[in-house]
Amino acid sequence: MPHTGFKYEGFGFSPRESAHHFVVGIPASNREDVAISEHFTFDAIEGRGQPTFGAGQNDGKLRSILARPKWDAIADELRVVFNRRLKEQGIKAGRWKTGVNAVSRLLGKELALLAWAIEDADPALIPTAIKNWQGLVPEERWWLFTMTAAATGHAVHGRGHGWRKAIRYALTENPVTDATYQPSPMFRLVAQDDESSAEKPGKRKRKSSGKIAS
C-alpha cells in the first residue's frame, strides 16, 4: 500500500517514494514523435533533468522514440493495465496528456519494453505484441527491460540490435489467440535464471504480486 501522505503524479510516481522514474513526452502535434526517457533524480524545486541522447549519460537517457501512430496504438492498453495495478495499491489513476507524463520506475520499465517491441515493427503486428506483453508477469517484464537496457537501451544507438531486436521478434512474431495464449518458453527461462541469481533456490512462483511500489 502507498505511504500515507504521499502525493502521486502521472502513473504512480511519487518523488518522496523514489526519485527513479520514467517520462513519456507527448507533443501537442499528433505528427510529432513520442519520447520515452528514464530519470534517476528529481529535485523538489528544479524538477527533473531534460531527456538526453548522450550515450554516456544515464539520467534522462532517452530509451525510445515512437512514431505517434504507434504510441496511439498502445496508449489505451497501457493506461488500462497500469491503472488496474495502481488501483490495487490504492494509488489514484493516471491519464495520458500532452506534455510531460511521469511513470513510476517499475511501470516505466514495462512501458519501455513494449515500446522497444513495436518501434521498428509492422503496425499490423502491434496487437500481437500487446497480447504477448500482457502474457508476461511484471517480474518478467522488469528482467527483460534490465537486460535489454544494459546492452542496447539507448533510443538510437541500441535500436535494431541485440536484445532490442530479440525483444521485437519475441513479442511480435509469436502469433497468439485470446483463448490459447501461453507466454513464450524463452521468457520462462530468462525469468528463472534471474530469480536463481537473486533469490535462494526454490520453486518459482508463477503468480505475480503485481505490486509496483519499491
Q: Tens of pLDDT along 76-114?
A: 999 999 999 999 999 999 999 999 999 999 999 999 999
Is 8 a member of any domain? no
pLDDT at 195: 39
Is 61 a member of any domain? yes
Is 129 a member of any domain? yes
Instruction: Dump strand ranges (E) for the chain.
Output: 21-26, 34-39, 61-66, 99-104
pLDDT at 131: 94
Which segments in the chain show pLDDT lower than 70? 1-5, 44-47, 49-57, 175-214
Is 43 a member of any domain? yes
DSSP-derived secondary structure for 130-164: HHHHHHS-HHHHHHHHHHHHHHH-STTTTTTSHHH
Is 117 a member of any domain? yes
pLDDT at 112: 97
Number of domains present in the structure of the chain: 1
Is 40 a member of any domain? yes
Is 214 a member of any domain? no
Domain that holds residue 152: 21-198
Is 207 a member of any domain? no
3-state DSSP of 46-60: CECCCCECCCCCCCC
